[in-house]
Structure 1
Amino acid sequence: MSLPILYSLRRCPYAMRARIAILLAKQPVLLRDVVMKNIPEELLAVSPKRTVPILLIEDSHVIDESVDIMIWALNQSDPNNLLIKNHPDAFPTMQTLINRNDNEFVESLEKYKTAARYHAPEETSHRQQCERFLSPLEQCLAKQEYLMGASPSLADYALLPFIRQFSRVDRKWFVKTPYSNLNRWLNTHYQNPIYSKAMTQYPQWADTHQEFLFGDE
């Protein structure tokens, strides 16, 4: 039985969340690191979306949504109970939060990043739009260590790459804000060895056609 193939891009937040889940599930895959300016024909042959991450299982089953890849990996193995299966209401709650992140926060975040890049006057208003999503998370983290309680969950790792991006748009501003709990939450994740493993840089598949065993540690 051949290992699944994961097409990924190191700095893509969607690919980052998929890699983190695969590492936490200790689910081995063959990693092919790509760049969007030079999308390999092998990726286009299995998915016309032209985006990452893409997970190819047994040359036939393709998963091309990052959260679905996370759930697939954790359904194989979930040693840290990130799916919180002992609480039936937890998964729908996490899904709702992740959907809000992906469908509301990400749109505002992209506008904020663009405005900041070009020093546009709309920068502050777009940042405030982002804060409408972040403020309740800050309040939640004032009461508990992670978004769903005392331990990390699917929701924490699904949101992490995007909140990380927000914090880096204007680092000086973010550090000075009242978001001390979000800042603590981010730093806790950064100190986890899983984070550095997920952010390891690999040679580009387009250059070497070399696959790397990933997620088996």
Structure 2
Amino acid sequence: MTAPILYSLRQCPYAMRARLGILHARQVVELRDIDMNNKPQKMLSISPKGTVPVLQCQDGTVIEESIDVMVWALSLSDPSNLLYSQDDQQLPLMLRLIQSSDSDFVHALQKYRAASRYHDDNAIEWRDKCCEWLVDIENKLSQHAYIMGNSPSLVDYAILPFIRQFSRVDKKWYAQSPLPHLRAWLINHYNDPLFSKAMVSHPKWEEGDEGVLFGFNLADGKYC
């Protein structure tokens, strides 16, 4: 194995956050974008849960959770100091906030998206639930440019894919929502070339194919 293998899916928010972590850590992986309706046996043999992302390291270690993939990558290299390594207390705080997002916010978001899709009367109720969680994020962003401070952190990129989903459920409402700092924060991320890089579409990987190199190529100092 010449590089770690990342099984991914372009629009999956969990896979998206893993790709963002790898890009910001300037690591390189063999990216295998899969078809969830035809899951490859190679992936299932190392991760029977059958969801993405899944990272197979060069030593055979398998990492099955998106946040663990991000921390793995940033522990190897963190040029933008997304882990706020100058303060040992910051990473536990970040992980707790991400866990809260993944449980409380993402749960409400899934209900909101489903209710909106099927024109359910509960859509506004679930949108309000999302906003209850987002109030704290809006408040933080009113004080500094990023969630944890004046520079980006693990948290920003971990919740970015889900804020993106939230913003797209009802675009007209979102554009007028009482979340101006969150909107500015999201636009700032959209303008980041690494976000565009994370969202590049790749051909679906099939057994016997080679994946594509994804990340930062140290040989030429460029993103691939």
TM (norm. structure 1) is: 0.97
TM-superposed CA distance for 1:104, in Å, is: 1.1
Q: State the partner residue of 2:32.
A: 32
RMSD between superposed Cα atoms in Å: 1.1
Residue 102 of structure 2: SS of its match in structure 1? Answer: helix
The secondary structure found in structure 1 opposite 2:206 is helix
Aligned to 2:143: 143
Cα distance in 2, alignment partners of residues 109 and 215 from structure 1: 29
Equivalent pairs counted in the alignment come to 217
Following TM superposition, by how much is the alpha carbon of 1:207 offset from its aligned partner in structure 2, in angstroms?
7.8
Residue of structure 2 equivalent to 1:154: 154
* Structure 2 residue 212 is matched with structure 1 residue 212: yes
Q: Aligned equivalents of 1:25 and 1:40: distance in 2?
A: 27
TM-score (norm 2): 0.94
Q: Counterparts in 2 of 1:168-187, with a 5 A limit?
A: 168-187=168-187
Spell out the pairing of 1:10-49 with structure 2 (5 A cutoff). Answer: 10-49=10-49
- Runs of 4 or more, structure 1, over 2 Å off, are none
Distance, in Å, in 2 between the alignment partners of 1:74 and 1:212 is 21
Query: Which residue does the alignment assign to 1:98?
Result: 98
1:215 is paired with a residue of what secondary structure?
strand
Q: Shift in Å at residue 208 of structure 1?
A: 7.4
Give the letter aligned to residue 106 of structure 2. Answer: V
Q: Distance in 2 between matches of 1:101 and 1:45?
A: 30
Shift of 1:2: 2.4
1:57 equivalenced with 2:57 (yes/no)? yes
What secondary structure does 2:6 align onto?
A: strand
Q: Distance in 1 between matches of 2:107 and 2:206?
A: 30
Aligned letter for 1:74? L
Partner of 2:219: none
Per the TM alignment, residue 86 of structure 1 is displaced from its structure 2 partner at its CA by 0.1
Structure 1 equivalent of residue 107 of structure 2:
107
Conservation of the 8 A alpha-carbon contact between 2:40 and 2:207: no
Aligned to 2:6: 6
Counterpart CA distance in 1 for 2:127 and 2:22 is 31
Worse-matched range after superposition: 118-127 or 51-60: 51-60
Deviation at 1:82, TM superposition (A): 0.3
1:55-104 C-alpha deviation (Å, 9 max, x unpaired): 00126200000000000000010000000010111111101100001111
Partner AA of 1:213 in structure 2:
L
By percentage of residues, which structure has more helix?
Answer: 1
% identical equivalent positions: 50
Structure 2, unpaired ranges of 5+: 217-222
- What SS is found at the alignment partner of 1:72? helix
The equivalent of 2:220 in structure 1 is none
| CA–CA separation in structure 2 for the residues paired with 1:192 and 1:16 | 14
Partner Cα separation in structure 2 for residue 200 and residue 44 of structure 1? 25
